[in-house]
């Protein structure tokens, strides 16, 4: 039997039992991810890895492990894996798309509600004994009804966000490399989206083209009360520019489920801003979604072990 290393505990023991029907299984039992040296050590001699986005699978690890044949990433994104190195050494990489689409889209909408209705600020006011008699001008938020939402990246998650937004009677526009058939919104250029949207939601994959994709140039085009939402990857936003844009009141605020780095240091300026809401990368954080992700990663491993093309094989060249 081939050996695999599972880099974090999975949602339940039954998933490990399933793996053990086909493989010799080594599981990292600690809460924190393995260090680089531990990851290297435990990967030695493994035929496969079941990894999370927290594990950096780089050229050094790949080139020093000739027995490695597959990396099954339990995530949609795979920016933690050096795809060029994997291709060079003929290692199959897989991911877990689709199963977390709805969960991430729901969280995106939740972030919009939290920031639009100023729920974080309101809760802080209660806890700080600042909640006084009702006043017509206190904690004034933003309506979602008839508001304009701009979606950058019309992939499956972006499309699901658009569907929910439409049901909330929001006006949807989107930007991508080209129009997408069936997308519930108006295809526009990026400048038009930035100029007109009340809420701008980012749904891009992270690669060399999209690092710091949103920066000060874009913030200066946005409405002064516009809110940026990011549930994709932290490095897609130039975080220093974002901090400056909010401090200088160039934009109205941000709601972020992803940051750079994760977790944010306690000294981060973003944590001090009332009009910024940050959640700790919870896009897929439901029991069903995480279980579905693990099951799909396991299926990829089992299918490849049987000599078949795994259902979620990534065959693209690195950029």
- Per the annotation, the verdict on 8 as an active-site residue is no
Domain CATH number, residue 155: 3.40.50.720
**Per-residue pLDDT, 80:** 96
pLDDT > 80? residue 310: yes
- Residues 131, 201, single domain; the answer is yes
Q: Given the residues 121, 186, 262, 303, select the one marked as catalytic.
A: 262
Q: Given the residues 55, 281, 290, 295, select the one marked as catalytic.
A: 281
H/E element holding 124? helix 119-127
Pairing label, strands 92-94, 70-73:
parallel
Number of domains observed in the structure of the chain: 2
Q: In a 3-state reduction of DSSP, which class is residue 306?
A: coil
- Per the annotation, the verdict on 281 as an active-site residue is yes
Q: Would you place residue 315 in the very low, low, confident or very high pLDDT band (cuts 50, 70, 90)?
A: confident
Q: What is the mean pLDDT of residues 41-51?
A: 97
Q: What is the mean pLDDT of residues 17-25?
A: 98
pLDDT digits (tens, 9 = 90+) for 243-276: 999 999 999 999 999 999 999 999 999 999 999 9
- Residues 176, 190, single domain; the answer is yes
pLDDT > 60? residue 318: no
The whole-angstrom separation of Cα 223 and Cα 229 is 14
Instruction: Characterise 212 by phi-psi region: left (phi > 0), alpha (psi -120 to 50), beta (else).
Output: left
Q: What is the largest CA-CA distance in the chain?
A: 69
- Residues 35, 176, single domain; the answer is no
319 in any annotated domain: no
Q: Given the residues 233, 248, 295, 317, select the one marked as catalytic.
A: 233
Query: What is the distance, to the nearest Å, from the Cα of residue 309 to the centroid of all Cα atoms in its chain?
Result: 26
214 in any annotated domain: yes
Q: In a 3-state reduction of DSSP, which class is residue 216?
A: helix
- Residues 114, 261, single domain; the answer is yes
Q: What is the mean pLDDT of residues 63-91?
A: 97
- Residues 257, 132, single domain; the answer is yes
Q: Which two tokens stand for residue 288?
A: 């069903």
- Per the annotation, the verdict on 262 as an active-site residue is yes
Mean pLDDT (the chain, rounded): 96
Whole-number Cα distances in Å, 293 to 54, 77, 126, 226, 288: 15, 12, 38, 33, 9
- Residues 83, 107, single domain; the answer is no
Whole-number Cα distances in Å, 208 to 6, 41, 205, 211, 319: 28, 29, 10, 6, 6
User: What residue numbers bound the domain in which 240 lies?
Assistant: 101-278
Q: In a 3-state reduction of DSSP, which class is residue 57?
A: strand
- Residues 191, 260, single domain; the answer is yes
Give the CA count within 13 Å in the CB-facing half-sphere of 160.
16
- Residues 129, 48, single domain; the answer is no
Cα–Cα–Cα angle for 309, 1, 91, rounded to 5 degrees: 40
């Amino acid at each position: 039997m081939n050996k695999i290393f599972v880099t974090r505990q999975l949602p339940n023991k039954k998933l490990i039992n399933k793996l053990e029907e086909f493989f010799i299984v080594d599981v990292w039992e600690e809460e924190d991810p393995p260090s680089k040296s531990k990851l290297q050590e435990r990967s030695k001699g493994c035929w496969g890895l079941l990894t999370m986005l927290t594990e950096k699978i780089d050229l050094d690890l790949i080139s020093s492990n000739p027995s490695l044949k597959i990396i099954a990433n339990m995530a949609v994104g795979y920016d933690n894996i050096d795809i060029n190195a994997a291709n060079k050494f003929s290692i199959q990489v897989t991911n877990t798309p689709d199963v977390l689409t709805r969960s991430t889209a729901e969280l995106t909408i939740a972030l919009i509600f939290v920031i639009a209705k100023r729920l974080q600020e309101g809760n802080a006011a209660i806890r700080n004994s600042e909640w006084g008699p009702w006043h017509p001008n206190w904690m004034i938020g933003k309506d979602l009804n008839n508001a304009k939402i701009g979606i950058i990246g019309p992939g499956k998650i972006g499309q699901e966000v658009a569907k929910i937004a439409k049901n909330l009677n929001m006006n949807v526009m989107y930007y991508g490399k080209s129009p997408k058939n069936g997308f519930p919104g108006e295809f526009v250029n990026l400048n038009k989206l930035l100029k007109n949207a009340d809420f701008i939601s980012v749904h891009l994959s992270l690669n060399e083209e999209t690092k710091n994709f949103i920066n000060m140039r874009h913030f200066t085009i946005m409405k002064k009360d516009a809110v940026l939402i990011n549930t994709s990857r932290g490095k897609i936003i130039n975080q220093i520019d974002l901090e400056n844009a909010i401090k200088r009141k160039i934009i109205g605020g941000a709601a972020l489920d992803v940051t750079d780095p994760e977790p944010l240091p306690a000294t981060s300026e973003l944590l001090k801003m009332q009009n910024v809401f940050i959640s700790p990368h919870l896009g897929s954080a439901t029991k069903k979604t995480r279980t579905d992700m693990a099951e799909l990663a396991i299926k990829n491993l089992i299918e490849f072990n049987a000599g078949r093309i795994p259902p979620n094989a990534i065959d693209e060249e690195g950029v």
